[in-house]
Chain A
Amino acid sequence: MANQKSSSGLPFPVILVIGIVMMAGGFYVSKNVHIDFLTKLAEQGISLDPGKTISAIGVLLILFPVIRSFYIGPLGDAISGRTNELERTFTEAESLRSEMTQMRSDYERRLVETESAAREQIQSEIRKAQELRGQLEADARARADEYLHKAQADIENEKNRVINDLRIHVVDLTLGATEKILGENVDSDRNRKLIAEFIDKVEVPG
């Protein structure tokens, strides 16, 4: 069990030197060293050449770091880089989405605000219009009442005047009639007063 030190831990030039030494040593062993045990093995059908093994170990020691730095390292970097990029893209998309959600909620809130403001405005306008209407109505009603009162007062005056006229006429008429009937000198002032009292008591409806 040879203790090979593989790629990790040793710098590449050291490995290169070890590998080349092992290759040369393997060549020497393959050409010059013959072991009885191995010839017996070869007779059994297992041909084993330690020189080849040592040289192959040397070659492989050099080959592994070369393959690693030539391809496997870059490949691993590319794969992990791609994974990182994917993750970054995903987080970016996530943040964009949350931003969008934020914006949408903002927009919705503003929409609601605008709507309520508009409704309020409409309400206030309506209220103002209603107030105006009530005022106008009250105005109109007041004026109508005024007209009505004036007309009623006029009517009352007229009626009183007519009643007075009528009363005078009736008194005159009655006096005349009474003069005619009695034909005598009646104290006309006293009678007239009497009749007026009577008429007041009778009172024509009207």
Chain B
Amino acid sequence: MTGHVFGLGIGLAALGVAIGLGLIGYSAMQGMSRQPEAIGKIQTAMLIALAFVELVFLLTVFVVPGSLKI
């Protein structure tokens, strides 16, 4: 049973993170196409934002199994 819950939780986390990543990419691309001269800065900011959103998923993956077991 816990295995199923774990899988569901991971899936939900992945869903949310995927939506977040997509939003970041969406707005970054929009900004880039609107201002091609600012591509460098936008890319930097985008990568940082991607890294932080991704971290949420990684935290979920490493924290959820422990909290379920104990």
- Interface residue ranges, A against B (CB under 8 Å): 40-41, 43-46
Interface size on B, residues (CB 8 A): 6
Complex CA gap A41/B67 in Å reads 11
B residues in contact with A41, CB < 8 Å: 66
B9 located at the interface, meaning its Cβ lies under 8 Å from any Cβ of chain A in the complex: no
Instruction: Give B10 Cβ to nearest chain A Cβ, in Å.
Output: 13
Q: Is B69 an interface residue (CB 8 A)?
A: yes
Within 8 A of A (CB), among B45-70: 62-63, 65-66, 69-70
Chain B residues with CB under 8 Å of A45's CB are: 62, 65-66
How many angstroms between the C-alpha atoms of A40 and B69 in the bound complex? 11
What is the interface of chain B, defined by CB distance below 8 A to chain A?
62-63, 65-66, 69-70
Q: How far is the CA of A92 from the CA of B28 in the complex (A)?
A: 45
Residues of A with C-beta under 8 A to B65: 44-45
Tell me the complex Cα distance, A120–B58, Å.
95
CA distance A41 to B66 in the complex (A): 8
Q: Residue on B with the closest CB to A46?
A: B62
Chain B neighbourhood of A44, CB < 8 A: 62-63, 65-66, 69
Chain A, Cβ-Cβ closest to B64: A44
Q: A41-B66, A44-B69 are in contact. List 13 more A-B contacts (CB 8 A).
A: A40-B66, A40-B70, A43-B66, A43-B69, A43-B70, A44-B62, A44-B63, A44-B65, A44-B66, A45-B62, A45-B65, A45-B66, A46-B62
Task: Give the docked Cα–Cα distance between A164 and B62 (Å).
Answer: 164
Can you name 15 A-B pairs with beta carbons within 8 Å? A40-B66, A40-B70, A41-B66, A43-B66, A43-B69, A43-B70, A44-B62, A44-B63, A44-B65, A44-B66, A44-B69, A45-B62, A45-B65, A45-B66, A46-B62
Residues in B neighbouring A46, C-beta threshold 8 A: 62
Min C-beta distance of A200 to chain B, whole Å:
126
| Complexed CA–CA distance, A40 and B62 (Å) | 12
Assembled-state Cα–Cα distance A44/B59 (Å): 12
Cα A43 to Cα B66 in complex, Å, equals: 7
Closest to B62 in A: A46
The 7 closest A-B pairs by CB, nearest first: A44-B66, A46-B62, A45-B65, A45-B62, A44-B65, A44-B62, A43-B66
Minimum distance in angstroms from B6 CB to a CB of chain A: 12
